[in-house]
Amino acid sequence: MPTQPTLHTERLILRPFGLADVDVVQELAGAYEVALNTSSISHPYPEGAAAMWIGTHQAHFDAGDAIHFAVTRHRGEHLIGAMGLGIRRDHRRAELGYWIGVPYWGQGYATEAARAVIAYGFREIDLLRITASHFRRNPASGRVMQKVGMTKEGCLRHHILRWGGPQDLVLYGILAEEWWATPDAGSR
């Protein structure tokens, strides 16, 4: 069984989730503001959902269809969020997804972690394309995508039904050749 990698950035460690993370995931992902800006996190976050979600990670990694990273700060490896790739190997593409706990918003952690995960996708998985999307009402997430070199590709109007109402989904993408031409490609 292959071992999921751990990635290091200037301020962060992106590592596999473990059962020791359950309580913090339950708390951070359970925040209304986090659930509001994701398409799949429930609010209230059901008891036991974090353990169930973490329990799926190794099987997804083994199957090659997803990789999930616990985003932690170097000091004490304190969990601050999640970031991962939903992978379509048959098309050599992936979708970047993430959430960061509310107390850690606005500090550049999502951008820093996204750069590392995108680099992993292009270098180690040999992807041709990575996409990401955000609800139109969450422009901060779009700024993260722009900062990591993604290009806005369009908007799917009323694409997601979330909490009783339609939501527009803004799409971003980056191609391997675009990423390899950036300064991020030359750094490790």
Phi, psi of 45 (to 5 degrees): -75, 120
Q: Give the model confidence (pLDDT) of 148-164 as tens digits.
A: 999 999 999 999 998 88
This prediction has a pTM of 0.95
53 near 30, Cβ under 8 Å? no
| Helical residues (DSSP H) of 102-165, grouped into ranges | 109-123, 139-147
Q: What is the CA radius of gyration of the chain?
A: 16
pLDDT single digits (tens) 58-107: 999 999 999 999 999 987 678 999 999 999 999 999 999 999 999 999 99
Please give the domain boundaries of the chain with CATH numbers for all domains. Answer: 7-186 (3.40.630.30)
